[in-house]
């Protein structure tokens, strides 16, 4: 189902695959780079992407229903968590799509969508910190690598293949049993049941309690005035209690 191309260097595998999608690249096209010069994360952030240290991979899904595009990342997070857990790494999913271990991010997922000849497509980018032995100062408190977690070197190509096999099984664009995947996502969540701080896009942060995750992947927050609402975008940080 996937056709993988390995390249040395690119600005961002998501950007390049999007360019290819706009020229008609087929569903299942995958791009893996040794290094990104302008790796991107959510909320306009950079994604630290030095040569050989991490896995930088993007996958093209087409066509997709734009309403379900958000769930692509949710289900991709389940696939990534399954693979890392199968290697004995104790990971959880921090809403919405960070894979964390020891309270730090080991993998980020960035989904982007576009339209080509009237057909929506989605690019899901997966960045795994594999063999970093140290991070820049601004990341050292929030990022961790598989090498730091396990004390051994990881083969990023082998990991890419395992992740693609897991994605094939989950089939995030058209899962056989989305309800079971949502339940697995909930079970793997490290956000539900915690006091959190919500950072809305361009709005003031506020505190609340993460009650549950809806079938659409939204995070239900109870605020101190006992109001409940669902967060569908922005960022949520788990508060140390
Ligand atoms: C995040 O943590 O906010 C998401 C990070 C996603 C990083 C991956 S690396 C491969 C792909 N290409 C990018 O530029 N970003 C994604």
- In tens, the pLDDT along 191-234 reads 999 999 999 888 899 999 999 999 999 999 999 998 999 999 88
- Environment class of 62 (CB within 10 Å of its CB; exposed 0-12, middle 13-18, buried 19+): buried
pLDDT attached to residue 65: 79
139 C-alpha to ligand 1 centroid (Å):
15
Given this model, what pLDDT does residue 190 score?
96
* Residue partners of 106: CB distance under 8 A and separation at least 6: 84, 89, 91, 99, 100, 128, 129, 143, 144, 145, 146, 149
The residue whose C-alpha atom lies closest to atom 16 belonging to ligand 1 is: 125
Give the pLDDT confidence score for residue 64 in this predicted structure. 85
Task: Report pTM.
Answer: 0.96
The confidence score (pLDDT) of residue 67 equals: 66
Ligand 1: distance of its center to the CA of 56 in Å?
Answer: 7
For residue 5 and ligand 1, the question of a CB distance below 6 A is answered with no
Tokens 């970093």 appear where?
Answer: 132
Phi-psi region of 117 (alpha: psi -120 to 50; beta: other; left: phi over 0): left
pLDDT tens figures, 149-192: 999 999 999 999 999 999 999 988 889 899 999 999 999 999 99
* CA-wise closest residue to 60 among 72, 77, 42, 74: 72
- CA distances to 124, 153, 176, 231 from 62, in Å: 11, 34, 17, 27
Q: What is the pLDDT of residue 240?
A: 63
- Per-residue DSSP letters for 31-95? EEEEEESS-B-GGG-B----TTTEEEEEEEE-S--GGGHHHHHHHHHHHHHHHHHHTT---EEET
Contact in structure between 4 and 160 (CB atoms under 8 Å): yes
Atom of ligand 1 nearest to the CA of 108: 2
- Give the pair of three-digit tokens for residue 231: 């967060």
Ligand 1 probe mutation, 72, 106, 127, most atoms within 8 A of CB? 127
SS3 238: strand
| Half-sphere exposure for 134 (CA within 13 Å, toward CB) | 2
Q: Confidence class of residue 241 from pLDDT cuts 50, 70 and 90? A: low
Query: pLDDT tens digits for 141-156?
Result: 999 999 999 999 999 9
Contacts of 225 (CB under 8 A, 6+ apart): none
Other CB atoms within 10 Å distance of the CB of residue 152: 9
Mean pLDDT of the chain: 94
């Amino acid at each position: 189902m996937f056709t993988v191309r390995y390249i040395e260097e690119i600005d961002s595998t998501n950007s390049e695959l999007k360019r290819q999608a706009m020229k008609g690249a087929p569903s299942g096209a995958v791009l893996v780079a040794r290094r990104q010069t302008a790796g991107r994360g959510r909320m306009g952030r950079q994604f630290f992407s030095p040569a050989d240290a991490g896995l930088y991979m993007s996958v093209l899904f087409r066509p997709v229903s734009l309403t379900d595009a958000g769930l692509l990342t949710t289900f991709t997070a389940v696939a990534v968590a399954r693979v890392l857990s199968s290697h004995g790494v104790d990971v959880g999913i921090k809403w919405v799509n960070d894979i964390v271990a020891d309270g730090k991010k080991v993998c980020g997922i960035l989904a982007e969508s576009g339209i080509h000849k009237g057909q929506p497509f989605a690019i899901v980018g997966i960045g795994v910190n594999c063999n970093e032995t140290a991070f820049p100062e601004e990341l050292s408190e929030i990022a961790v690598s598989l090498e730091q977690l396990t004390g051994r070197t990881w083969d990023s190509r082998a990991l890419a293949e395992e992740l693609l096999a897991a994605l094939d099984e989950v089939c995030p664009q058209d899962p056989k049993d989305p309800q079971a995947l949502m339940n697995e996502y909930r079970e793997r969540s490290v956000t539900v049941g915690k006091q959190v701080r919500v950072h809305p896009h361009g709005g003031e942060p506020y505190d609340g309690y993460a009650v549950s995750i809806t079938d659409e992947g939204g995070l239900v927050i109870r605020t101190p005035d006992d109001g409940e609402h669902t967060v569908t975008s922005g960022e949520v940080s788990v508060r140390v209690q």
